[in-house]
Amino acid sequence: MDTDLSSQDRKDLDKFIKFFALKTVQVIVQARLGEKICTRSSSSPTGSDWFNLAIKDIPEVTHEAKKALAGQLPAVGRSMCVEISLKTSEGDSMELEIWCLEMNEKCDKEIKVSYTVYNRLSLLLKSLLAITRVTPAYRLSRKQGHEYVILYRIYFGEVQLSGLGEGFQTVRVGTVGTPVGTITLSCAYRINLAFMSTRQFERTPPIMGIIIDHFVDRPYPSSSPMHPCNYRAGEDNGAVYPSVEDSQEVCTTSFSTSPPSQCVFTVTKAHFQTPPPVVTDTLKVPVMGLAFSHQPAALGVGSADMGYPVLFAGGLHAAHPHQLIGPGKEGGVPPIPSQPAHGTQADQERMCTPLDGVHYSAATPSSSEDTETVSNSSEGKCGSPHDLLETIFVRKVGAFVNKPINQVTMANLDIPFAMFAPKNVELEDNDPMVNPPDSPETESPLQGSLHSEGSSGSSTGNTHDDFVMIDFKPAFSKDDILPMDLGTFYREFQNPPQLSSLSIDIGAQSMAEDLDSLPEKLAVHEKNVKEFDAFVETLQ
Amino acid sequence: MNCRAEVLEVSVEGRQVEEAMLAVLHTVLLHRSTGKFHYKKEGTYSIGTVGTQDVDCDFIDFAYVRVSSEELDRALRKAVGEFKDALRGSGSDGMGQISLEFYQKKKSRWPFSDECIPWELWTIKVNVVNLANEQERQICREKVGEKLCEKIINIVEVMNRHEYLPKMPTQSEVDNVFDTSLKDVQPYLYKISYQITDSLGTSVTTTMRRLIKDTLAL
Per-residue model confidence as pLDDT tens digits over A118-133: 999 999 999 999 999 9
Helix axes B17-31, B70-88, angle to 10 degrees: 140
Is the CA virtual torsion B176, B181, B186, B190 positive or negative? Answer: negative
Which residues in B lie closer than 8 A to residue A53 (C-beta atoms)?
A: 49-52
Strands A208-209 and A169-178, by their bridges, are unpaired
Q: What percent of chain A has pLDDT over 90?
A: 19
Rounded to an integer, the average pLDDT of A521-531 is 89
In a domain, residue A225? The reply is: no
Quote the distance between the C-alpha of residue A104 and its chain's center: 37
Lowest mean pLDDT among A107-111, A376-380, A396-400, B125-129: A376-380
Triad A372, A378, A382: Cα angle to 5°: 55
In a domain, residue B125? The reply is: yes
Which residues in B lie closer than 8 A to residue A130 (C-beta atoms)?
A: 27, 30-31, 64-65, 152, 155-156
B180: region left, alpha or beta (phi > 0 left; psi from -120 to 50 alpha): alpha
pLDDT of residue A314: 34
Whether residue A45 and residue B49 make contact (CB cut-off 8 A), yes or no, is yes
Please count the structural domains in chain A.
Answer: 1
Give bridge partners of residue A170 from the DSSP assignment: A188
Interface A-B: count of C-beta contacts within 8 A: 118
Residue A381's Cβ-count burial label (10 Å; 0-12, 13-18, 19+) is middle
- Using CB atoms and an 8 Å cut-off, which of residues 55-94 of chain A contact chain B? none
In a domain, residue B124? The reply is: yes
Rounded to an integer, the average pLDDT of A455-469 is 46
In whole angstroms, give the CA distance from residue B38 to residue B22. Answer: 29
Whether residue B156 and residue A123 make contact (CB cut-off 8 A), yes or no, is no
In a domain, residue B33? The reply is: yes
Which residues in A lie closer than 8 A to residue B51 (C-beta atoms)?
A: 38-42, 53-54
In whole angstroms, give the CA distance from residue B124 to residue B25. Answer: 9
Give bridge partners of residue A157 from the DSSP assignment: A79
Q: At A118, is the secondary structure helix, strand, or coil?
A: helix
In whole angstroms, give the CA distance from residue B153 to residue B203. Answer: 30
Please count the structural domains in chain B.
Answer: 1
- What pLDDT, in 10s, does the model give residues A374-399? 333 333 343 344 443 333 334 444 44
- Residue pair A2/A31 in contact (Cβ under 8 Å)? The answer is no
On the question of pLDDT at A461 being above 70, the answer is no
On the question of pLDDT at A254 being above 50, the answer is no
- What pLDDT, in 10s, does the model give residues A417-437? 555 555 444 444 444 444 454
- Residue pair A32/A148 in contact (Cβ under 8 Å)? The answer is no
Rounded to an integer, the average pLDDT of A448-467 is 42
Whether residue A43 and residue B36 make contact (CB cut-off 8 A), yes or no, is yes
In whole angstroms, give the CA distance from residue B71 to residue A536. Answer: 92
Strands B190-198 and B203-206, by their bridges, are antiparallel
| Residue type (1 letter), A157 | G
Whether residue B49 and residue A41 make contact (CB cut-off 8 A), yes or no, is yes
Query: A317 and chain B: CB distance < 8 Å anywhere?
Result: no
Whether residue A38 and residue B67 make contact (CB cut-off 8 A), yes or no, is no
On the question of pLDDT at A286 being above 70, the answer is no
In whole angstroms, give the CA distance from residue B3 to residue A129. Answer: 26
On the question of pLDDT at A264 being above 90, the answer is no
Q: What percent of chain A has pLDDT over 70?
A: 44
In a domain, residue B214? The reply is: no
In a domain, residue A340? The reply is: no
How far does the CA of residue A231 sit from the closest CA of chain B (Å)? 19
Query: A38 and chain B: CB distance < 8 Å anywhere?
Result: yes
pLDDT of residue A76: 85
pLDDT of residue A392: 39
CA distances from A454 to A423, A437, A495 (A): 11, 18, 18
Q: From the list B31, B49, B53, which residue is nearest A42 (CB)?
A: B49
Query: B143 and chain A: CB distance < 8 Å anywhere?
Result: no
**Domain boundaries, position A56:** 7-197
On the question of pLDDT at B120 being above 80, the answer is yes
On the question of pLDDT at B106 being above 70, the answer is yes
- What pLDDT, in 10s, does the model give residues A136-145? 999 989 988 8
Q: Which one is predicted more confidently, B28 or A9?
A: B28
In a domain, residue A162? The reply is: yes
Query: A131 and chain B: CB distance < 8 Å anywhere?
Result: yes
In a domain, residue A515? The reply is: no
Name residues whose C-beta falls within 8 Å of residue A341's C-beta, 6 or more positions apart in sequence. Answer: A225, A302, A303, A304, A305, A306, A307, A309, A347, A350, A360
In a domain, residue B173? The reply is: yes
Q: From the list A124, A129, A134, which residue is nearest B52 (CB)?
A: A129
**Domain boundaries, position B161:** 4-208
Query: A270 and chain B: CB distance < 8 Å anywhere?
Result: no
Q: What percent of chain B has pLDDT over 90?
A: 60
Residue A527's Cβ-count burial label (10 Å; 0-12, 13-18, 19+) is exposed
On the question of pLDDT at A45 being above 80, the answer is no
Neighbours of A65 (CB within 10 A): 22
Q: Which one is predicted more confidently, B166 or A512?
A: B166
In a domain, residue A53? The reply is: yes
- What pLDDT, in 10s, does the model give residues A318-353? 333 333 333 334 434 433 344 443 433 333 333 333
- Model confidence at B202, pLDDT cuts 50, 70, 90, reads low
Give the length of chain A. 540
CATH number reported for the structural domain that contains residue A173 in this entry = 3.30.900.10
- Select the residue from B65, B149, B177 to test the A interface by mutation, using most A Cβ atoms within 10 A: B65
CA distances from B185 to A42, A117, B48, B178 (A): 8, 21, 8, 10
Triad B110, B116, B118: Cα angle to 5°: 160
pLDDT of residue B186: 94
pLDDT of residue A407: 41
User: Least CA distance to A135: which residue of chain B?
Assistant: B149
Query: B34 and chain A: CB distance < 8 Å anywhere?
Result: yes
- What pLDDT, in 10s, does the model give residues B86-99? 888 865 678 899 99
CA distances from A76 to A73, A101, A120, A188, A223 (A): 10, 10, 20, 19, 20
In a domain, residue A254? The reply is: no
Which residues in B lie closer than 8 A to residue A135 (C-beta atoms)?
A: 149
Q: Which of B142, B25, B12, B172 has the alpha carbon at shortest distance from B87?
A: B12
Rounded to an integer, the average pLDDT of A180-193 is 88
Is the CA virtual torsion A295, A363, A244, A246 positive or negative? Answer: positive
